[in-house]
Every structure is written in structure tokens, then in C-alpha cells.
Structure 1
């Protein structure tokens, strides 16, 4: 028996050694690719080691309630050596991370089982602390158990508190509700740990992939590692059509799954129950139920988007705490559900409005459904209706095809340079618009916000530098780099490993760059949560801003009256109740999120107050963002005729009209264009 055990142990060690060897080969290939192709390659040195070590440890144990101080110190011997390991192709160090992480997870799992068998009083003398600074590691495992007990009790009370806003009723039934919540919370804790102990890709591979991605992120935040499945998921996400519930979800900072957007006319939209911002707490499909709190984001994404799950029941929680369920059946949703669309808006003059959700492109070269062509068609339709100004809405546009945005920029300038593209060798390629003339030569406003990124910033920068349009909104993300996905092995028929790598950087025709800083609008408008939005400048490895010495000849339009137009807008904003409300609410939000919370007693009263601290703010935000603005909106003559025979299109159109009509930024854009028309008429 001992021989069998010894042989089994030896076999396990041999397999792990082979896996580490393969991981080292992958590490080496990733490094070779990044050094050869990355826009700004970095040396593999102690700085890289420290970044990889700190980032991996943060990812494995964000709250420092998993590893003990001694375990951290044992892993910290690798902190300045990871660069040497990679260069020497010695990945034995990974064994220490794999062993320590598995041991720590198993220990916490045992603690949770112990806690589940112990009484948990709901009125305690415990206090839970919140801090922007990191806490030290525990030296005693029992301190970890003590914290877990306190955190589980807190989560149980919070779960009960979120059932309703009637505190007295909840308190009266706390014992019964707490029992239900306790079972749910403990199951969630165990489920999360079990998922971490047995991830779909395998425990060792999950650690390898974390190290690979972190290594890439050291070069810049947009370079990352993809295994085969991750790349396949990415390719699927840009498919022209697939089965869909008609909603988009994202994961917030609390690892909650939030409804990001509803697709007009889709299953979720037609249910008339789901709102943007609702939290998904449970999914049921194919005779299985998945609690979001312990299900991987990959599994959730698969259920929401994959055609393997045709009928799905969602259980969601609204911001006011209301929990409800809805049954949805997927339908085939085409990519043009998120394509360009237009309206005629305004009271004084007919103003054209075009929403550009992304710079999508036609993957079929014979197709004319790319973003630039769609914008051209909408502009032509608007001009037939005699518009006196044009709003291009790039709010929440995260970018897309640079080919599309280059073509689109050429529609709005006469001719000339558009941007400067440079690679790691500092060779400059001047991107030009060679087509003389403009598709539209009237006054323009471009709307942007903190979610406008990459290609959106590229376009806005061109229009700003040529003085072709006034840029209105809030500072954009600050990404002026371009990435591509490359296989690690060009020679392999079916490669399994890929890297999304940053190849190029864009500069504006002035030689300046919007990288890191973003596009600063000509007219800045307040927006909710603006100070808390993650921008390029908040990313520790982001490529910094710089300028290049280059002199390009381009015809900037005169801006004689711009100062007057900007002044009129600023005065209007200062006197606007809607914008004043945003500033007031932002101050309250910043007070809640940017300072350390006071220590919170783990009692129902305290937790209830904390759980509902944002309720009034959310209610005010929802009321304000749903309020109809005082401008008219109608379809183009072309769209009116088309919609007569398209029921699905009418449903989608109604949703688009509703969201457009309640947008105060569009209203201000209309006012600015009215000012321009008024000034230039006199």
C-alpha cells in the first residue's frame, strides 16, 4: 500500500512538473511576443516582479482574510524573483502559490462549515470596519474565522434588510427571515469557494492564466492573455446574430451582476418588468438553477448569450429592494439592434440627431452595413428633411473599428490629415482623408462622456482640432492605443494561446495625444458618478500622455463666435435645475464613496440603515433621468414610411424615442445649435 501511495505521489509530482514546464514555455512565448510587438515593451526586471506578485496576491485575497501573515511571507520570497524565473524558464515557484492558495481556500471552507453549525445571534456587540487602506494579514487562523462569522452575520442582516423598506415589519419577523437568509448566505459562501477550488479550466490552469494575464497587464492595461475558450467567447460576442435574451449585463465593483442595457424589442424589453440597473440574483435554465453570488461570470455570460439555453428564468432585485422573477425565451437578435439611428429634434429649428452606439464594421466585405455607411445614410435622410444642425451622440460609445471612424471623419472635413499613427519603432504614419468635400457642412455638436473611448475619442479629437464641431459633455476615457489578438504560435494549425497586444498609439494632427488625459470637451456638463468613473489615468500601468514634434498643414475652421456660444451654454448650465441637481447628488455620492465609512455595529438597525443609504439618491436619479425634456422629437420622413410596416421596428423606435426625449445632454446640444444658428443669422 505504501508503494502504491508513493507511486501515486510521485506521479502527481511528475504531472505538476510537466504542467509547470508547459506554463514556462507559454510565459516565454508571451514575453517574446510582447517584446517584439508591443508599442512600448518593458524590461523583465524587479519592477515587473513586484507588480505581478502584488497584483496576483491582491486578486487571490482582496480583503486579506484568506492567507495568514506567515503564508504571505513564505510567498513573498518570490516577490523580486519572478523576472528571473521567467527568463530562466524555471516555473517551480508556481507550486508555492498553487499549494498555499488551495490550502487557504480549504481552511476557509472548513471554517464556513463550522460556522454553519453554530448559532448566529442577529444582535451582536461586533463592529465591522471599512477602509480605503488595506488591512494587515491575520497571524492567527481563528481571527480569520472570527471575521468570517462577523461578515456572514452582516450579510444575513443585509439580505433581510434588502427585502423591503419596512424596518418594523422586518424586525418583527427577523428570526424567521434570518433563518432563510442564513441558509442562502452560507450556501453562497460555500458555492463560491467550491467554484474557486474547482474552476472549469482546472485549479492549476486558473493560477497559470492569472499569472499570464497579470504579466501582460504590466505592459499596459489593455494587453492580456486569452486561452482558447476566452478567445472563442470574444469572437462569439461580435457575431452578427445569435440567440439572445435581449439584455446586456456587467459586473460591478461588488461583483454583482447588473442589467447594463435592454435591447429594444427583445425578450427582456417586451416583458416590461426589467429596468436598466436591476441586479440579477438567480438564473434557472435547462432544469438547473444558478445563484449569481456563487456562479462564475463565464457561466452567467454563457446562460445569457449562448444558444444552449433557450428558455431562462431570471430573478432580479430592483434598486429599491423589490425582488421579482421573469421567464424569457431567447430569440435571434441581429447585430443591427445596436446600429446607428436618427431623429429630428428641437422646437425652434429642425436639428438632426444621430446616435452612434459603437464603431461597428461589416465583416463581410460585400456588405454596406458598417458604421460609416450607416451614418452617411442617416445624414442623407436628415438633410432631405432640411435640418439646421447636427448632433452626433457618442455617449457610452466604447470604440470599435478604426477603419470605420477614419471613413466617418472624412465625411465631415473637406480633406487633409486625420491623425498620426506610430508604432514601437517611432515610425510615423499620417492617416489622411483624400476625398475632397463634406457630406454635411452645417453646424455640429458631438456628445461624449466618461464611457466614450478609443475610436470615439479619435473622432471627437479630429472634429475638435479642425474646429468642425463643439465637443460637449464630460472628459472621455483616455484610450488612444490600438490592440490586436495574436496567436502565440503562428505555425500551429489550432493554437490554444493568444495575446491581445497593444501595437500602436494615435496622436492628434496637432502632435498632442488624448492617451491618459482623454478628450476635454469645449463645453463641460456635469454627469452622475463622474468623479468615480474608472478612466485610463486611474489604471496603474496605463501608457502616459506625451506629444510629438510634428507640423502638419490642415485647414482649421475659424472660431470667431465660439467663445460667445460657450459662454451662453455655461450660463444656461449654471441656471439649470437639472444640472444643479446632478452636482448636488454627486456631492452626496462622493461623501458616501470617497471617505472611509464609520465602523458599523453588526445589528439589524445599523445594517438596515446602511443597506438603504443610497435608496433616496437612486430614486432621485431615476426620477431625473426618466423626466421628459421640453423638446419635440420625430422620425425622419424615410423612417416614418418604413415603420408603417414594421411592428418590431416600431417597438424599438418607441424605446429609442423615450431614452432620447429624457436626455438632458441632448437638450443642451439642441440649445447650443440654436445659439449657433441665431448668432450666425445676425
Structure 2
């Protein structure tokens, strides 16, 4: 059963007859039972569990540490080591106590914010604001009084940052009142959003609690209610007439881009990106500010059939204001979300980028099928080798990854899955033959995870691919989605752990490339290992005996690459940015709470990226060329022509692709001798 469920998403048809709703206690009991029976490494429900859930729940409900103080939390102290007992005894009234506490402090927060409406705020710099190391855990204020001071500083910081983000800042004293009114309104909206959460506050607290319970077992086990499940299903499927962008609210209650749909124009052009702050949107002469705008209202505006083209004003992660125009398109019948190119130079090299292992839920095809089509076309033009770019690929369908891996090997094992009972399932490529036999390089980075890591590890274990780039994220576990009774929620449970067929695991350690490139976020992002309750890495006694080709010697390739990287301007820029960024983030910053104080800090941060344009460098190492059949499509499709032009420019100026090309060219020559 597990083997089958690993390869598909679990969809359950909702029954239409009347049913009695499960109580919170029943849900808790069912979830704990499901975790105990199915989780890869179940844990004991004891006082340690209780302390974790108590602490994490209050942190999750107040992730900005703006609603209650440590002194306030003591009001609930009696629950800290009793939650395990309550759940096991079916006594669940404690959740009402938590909800009352949460609602009380949300309303108090609104009262605190309103105090500042008529209060004169000090921007002289006499007050200071302190930012600790980025890896330090945020603490609650000690008392209600110090919490009010935190609010005072937050509001003033928000006002200054809004002022500094203006395209053409006016005299601050003249617009201070206007900015203050806007910031006060935004902060009140932030609280009101929480009070008016979909399905009610009680349901929200219960859902958060149940999700925290799941997270005690590992970072990827979670609970979501039917509303969240509908959102999840939409995110992995396709939809008609869409702009291909999803939105959410960040911890400040502001609307941000949360994802891009595979195959959409937004996904291909990458002008709008995950994390961008949405300031406003406009269509048909109607402009909507996102200040206090609900997600429901945002989607109502986007989904209005009259709004076929929508203009977004966003602020990106470098505080740059951008205007982006997105046109709705029919994404449901997108035939192929990947495209291949030829890099023409000393060697003719195929290039395919795959940002996710997607699947088409309507037709049963997906990324593997799409890449197979591209491999047939690339084989027809007799390329010398292939670059498969999995940077930023966070995973997706494991079946798609397994099918794709099988295209590059004749037959044999790809990996091992191990479950709670130590049962080992060997994952094999059952299809004889290969679609591509020439030299292959897989390009990875710190955002390559899960299915991406699986395929990189499998093909390296077969000595079929050379892995280059930077260390991967380190997610080597497999999840299964199970419904509660009556579909009153869904539990995602980590059921198995991945291993290479040699018995090694990349879980929590990532995959180290054969040839490593400088990484902008080295020492800043720790990947899977930084998560609480992470499942540790280990090895198993392999039960697989399979004769594989002799491993190639990469020492000469590595030495040549390192010599090029040392002289490469883009690589030197990355190393310099990384050093300065780590210095900025690693140390406490105590700033005067004034325009000058925050502007100097912002200028220091911006200066770190001052030469970031040097990372994108044109070169004459190769020319990026479309395949003949795609040129015909471009001749009559202006939208695809625009996307294609952007993609070619992106590849042509990507220093990592250029260095990967050099390595592959060296590898081809090495194999020829």
C-alpha cells in the first residue's frame, strides 16, 4: 500500500450526506494515533511533548512577539507540562482557555496601537532599536510595559521605512502625519485580520495547535483543515485563465507573492518573484491599494473576468520598486512547461532547466514526459552532452523524478526507502534502455531539495552524472497525505526516509557537489538541518548488489574549474557579497531610531549588493540557440517569443551555466582520450 501511495497524491471524494463534526478532542486523538502508526520515527507523548507544544503554539500564534509578554504567558503556565495528560485523558477544555487568552491580547494590541494615534512620536534618535544576529531566536517582551515600548518602536520604524521606500521622498515633517496614519491603519489591519480569520478564531487556534502537534515529530509533518487542503490542491494542479501567481500574507500582515505556477508566463519570465511585496494592482483604470486589503478581495479583483491584464506595483527583496504587467492565460492545457536550448561553442551542449517535478493531474503526464520530448529533439541534432539545471527545484512528484532518472540509465536500483518497521523498499528503474547516453552534468544549489536530491544522488551513484554547483537543502524524507474521518482535516505524515542504493542518506546534510561553486548564501542558509525536530542523517546496510560503471576521475576537471573560478569576476563578487552579508547579519546592530539612523543601516545593506550586477556577465563562451521546431512556434506567438528572449538572456549571462559548460567541455574531451 505504501509503495502505491508514494507515487500518487491521495485524493478522497467528499461525501454528500450529513455528518456530525468531529470535536477538537476527537481530531487530536485521531491525529496522535495516525502519527504513532504511520510516522517514520514516532515519539512518546510525555512532558517533553507538552512543553514543546505549549511553547511552540504561543510562538506560532504570535510570531512577531507583539501580542503578549512573557509575564502574560505565565497566566497559562499550568498547561505547560499537562497537555500530554489532557490529550490522553480526552480533556480538551484547555484549548478554550488558550483561545480566550489569544483573543484578549489581540484586542489589547488594537488598544495599544490606538494609543499612538494622538501621541507625539520621537524620531530624534534618542531611542534606539536593536537587531540581533539573524540566527538568534526572537524573544517575548518581559512585561506588558516593555511590550508597549516595542509597539512604539515598531510603529516608528514602519513610518521611517515607508518614508525611505518612497521614490522621491519629500520633507519628512511635512508628510510624517500622513505616513503615521497609514502605518497605524496597517498595524490595526494586521490585528483585525487575525481576529477575523476564516472559519473563526477558535478554529484557527485549534488548527494551529494540531499543526504544532504534528511538527513535534518532524518539520514536514503537518495538519491542515479542509480550506487549506483546497488551497493546497489548487497549488499543485492547474487552473483556467490565470495569471499564474499565488499570494499570501507575511508576518506583518502585508500581501506578498507566495509562488508561481509552473508553465505560466510569470514563472518563465521571472520578473515577479516569490517574496515580492505587493503595493498595488490596477486593471481597466481601477487601482487597488493593498493596504488593509484581504486576500479574498485581492483574488476577487484578479479573478474578475473583465480584468484580463493586471498591472502590479511591487517592492522586491532589494527594496526596488517594480511595475509588472501580467496577462491572464489558459494554463490548463499547457502542453510542455520546459524547453530545451543548444549552447553552441567549442562543444554543442543541450540545456534543460527544471524548476519543479510537477505533474498534470488531469492528463497523468508531467515533467518527466515533457523532458523526454526535449531529449528526443536534442538527440536528433546530435549534441555532445547535456546540462540538467535543478537549481531552485524544491521537489514535487517522486514518480516524476524516478521516471526521469530512468531515462539516463539502462536499468537497476535508484535508491532505497525505509519505513517505521525498518522495511526497505528498493526503488528501481524497470524500463530497459535509455533516452540519453552522452555526458551529463546536473547543476544544483541550496534550494534543490527532495526529488531533486534523489535524482542527483541516484545518477551519481550510478556514475552517470557529474554534480556541480553548491550543497543542496538536505530533505531526504517522504510524506503521505491522509484524511481524518469525514474529511475534517488532512494530516501530512513523514512515512519513510530516502537512501541511495549504496546505503547513504542526504537527509539533513544535503548533497555535496563533485565540483563546488561559490554560494551567495554560504553560512547563512543551513537548509534542513536548521529545522526543529529534524530527522538526523544515518546510513543503512545496503541490500542492493548491482554492478555499476567505474567512477570517472574528476580531479583534473575540479582543478581546472577552480582556476577559472578564482579569476572569474562574478565568482569574486559573490564571495565578497557573502563575506559582507554574513558580517552584517551575524552581529548585533544597535541603531538610533531616526531617519538618519535607519537610512545609514539601509545604505550599509544596499552597499553590500552594490556590485551585484557583476554577477550577470555576458560572455562569448557559447551562443544560446533554439531548436528548429521551436523557432517555428516563436514566429507566430509573440508571448512565447518574449518569454524565449528573456530565457536566452538569462542563460547567456548566467556565470554558473557558463562554468558548467566549461566543465562539461573538459569532461567530453577527457572521456575521448
TM over 0.5: yes
**What's the RMSD between the two structures over aligned residues?**
3.2
Q: How far, CA to CA, are the matches of 1:358 and 1:306 in structure 2? A: 29
Cα shift at 1:345: 0.5
Cα shift at 1:680: 2.9
User: Higher mean Cα deviation, 404-413 or 467-476?
Assistant: 404-413
Q: Which residue of 1 aligns with 2:130?
A: 129
Say which of 461, 465, 472 aligns to 1:469: 465
Gaps of 5+ in 1: 1-18
TM-score by length of 2: 0.89
Q: Which residue of 1 aligns with 2:69?
A: 68
TM-score by length of 1: 0.88
Q: Which residue of 1 aligns with 2:407?
A: 411
Q: Which residue of 2 aligns with 1:77?
A: 78
Q: How far, CA to CA, are the matches of 1:440 and 1:554 in structure 2? A: 21
Q: Which residue of 2 aligns with 1:624?
A: 615
Cα shift at 1:156: 0.7
Q: Deviation digits for residues 101-157 of structure 1, max 9, x if unmatched?
A: 222221121111111111224324111122245576556533332332222112111
Q: Which residue of 2 aligns with 1:93?
A: 94
- Matched residue of 2:240: which SS? strand
Cα shift at 1:271: 11
Matched residues, number: 652
Q: How far, CA to CA, are the matches of 1:636 and 1:126 in structure 2? A: 62
Q: Note if 1:681 corresponds to 2:672.
A: yes
List aligned pairs for 1:549-568, cutoff 5 A.
Answer: 549-568=541-560
Q: Give the 3 Å change call, closer, same or farther, for CA 65–646 of structure 1 in structure 2.
A: closer
Contact 2:52 2:216 in 1 (8 A): yes
Cα shift at 1:231: 0.4
List aligned pairs for 1:205-354, cutoff 5 A.
Answer: 205-247=203-245, 258-259=256-257, 278-283=276-281, 292=290, 294=292, 312=310, 314-318=312-316, 321=319, 323=321, 330-334=328-332, 336=334, 339-354=337-352
Say which of 176, 192, 195 aligns to 1:194: 192
User: Higher mean Cα deviation, 569-578 or 468-477?
Assistant: 569-578
Q: Note if 1:151 corresponds to 2:149.
A: no
User: Higher mean Cα deviation, 375-384 or 549-558?
Assistant: 549-558
Q: Which residue of 2 aligns with 1:647?
A: 638
Contact 2:262 2:337 in 1 (8 A): no
User: Higher mean Cα deviation, 415-424 or 332-341?
Assistant: 332-341
Cα shift at 1:584: 0.6
Q: How far, CA to CA, are the matches of 2:96 and 2:108 in structure 1? A: 18
Cα shift at 1:336: 3.8
Q: Which residue of 2 aligns with 1:668?
A: 659
Q: Which residue of 2 aligns with 1:179?
A: 177
Cα shift at 1:552: 1.8
Q: Which residue of 1 aligns with 2:104?
A: 103
Q: Which residue of 1 aligns with 2:144?
A: 141
Q: Which residue of 2 aligns with 1:438?
A: 434
User: Higher mean Cα deviation, 610-619 or 451-460?
Assistant: 610-619
Cα shift at 1:61: 2.9
- Matched residue of 1:593: which SS? helix
Contact 1:38 1:502 in 2 (8 A): yes
Q: How far, CA to CA, are the matches of 1:606 and 1:88 in structure 2? A: 55
Q: How far, CA to CA, are the matches of 2:253 and 2:604 in structure 1? A: 19
User: Higher mean Cα deviation, 69-78 or 305-314?
Assistant: 305-314
User: Higher mean Cα deviation, 264-273 or 235-244?
Assistant: 264-273
Q: Give the 3 Å change call, closer, same or farther, for CA 320–58 of structure 1 in structure 2.
A: closer
Contact 1:158 1:611 in 2 (8 A): no
Q: How far, CA to CA, are the matches of 1:646 and 1:248 in structure 2? A: 26
Q: Note if 1:514 corresponds to 2:512.
A: no
User: Higher mean Cα deviation, 309-318 or 406-415?
Assistant: 309-318
Q: Which residue of 2 aligns with 1:486?
A: 482
Q: Give the 3 Å change call, closer, same or farther, for CA 61–272 of structure 1 in structure 2.
A: closer
Cα shift at 1:309: 7.4
Cα shift at 1:90: 0.9
Gaps of 5+ in 2: 1-19
Q: Give the 3 Å change call, closer, same or farther, for CA 134–486 of structure 1 in structure 2.
A: closer
Q: Deviation digits for residues 278-320 of structure 1, max 9, x if unmatched?
A: 4312346899987656556677677668979766553323566
Q: Deviation digits for residues 359-385 of structure 1, max 9, x if unmatched?
A: 2224345x5x42222222211111111
Q: How far, CA to CA, are the matches of 2:240 and 2:24 in structure 1? A: 35
Cα shift at 1:456: 0.7
Q: How far, CA to CA, are the matches of 2:251 and 2:467 in structure 1? A: 30
Q: Note if 1:423 corresponds to 2:419.
A: yes
User: Higher mean Cα deviation, 500-509 or 430-439?
Assistant: 430-439
Q: Deviation digits for residues 58-107 of structure 1, max 9, x if unmatched?
A: 12234544323332112122111111111111111122211222222211
Q: How far, CA to CA, are the matches of 1:574 and 1:403 in structure 2? A: 39
Q: Which residue of 2 aligns with 1:586?
A: 578
List aligned pairs for 1:32-51, cutoff 5 A.
Answer: 32-51=33-52
Q: Give the 3 Å change call, closer, same or farther, for CA 311–654 of structure 1 in structure 2.
A: closer
Q: How far, CA to CA, are the matches of 2:269 and 2:541 in structure 1? A: 56
Contact 2:130 2:588 in 1 (8 A): no
Cα shift at 1:574: 2.2
Say which of 607, 618, 625 aligns to 2:598: 607
Contact 1:359 1:399 in 2 (8 A): yes
Q: Give the 3 Å change call, closer, same or farther, for CA 257–564 of structure 1 in structure 2.
A: farther
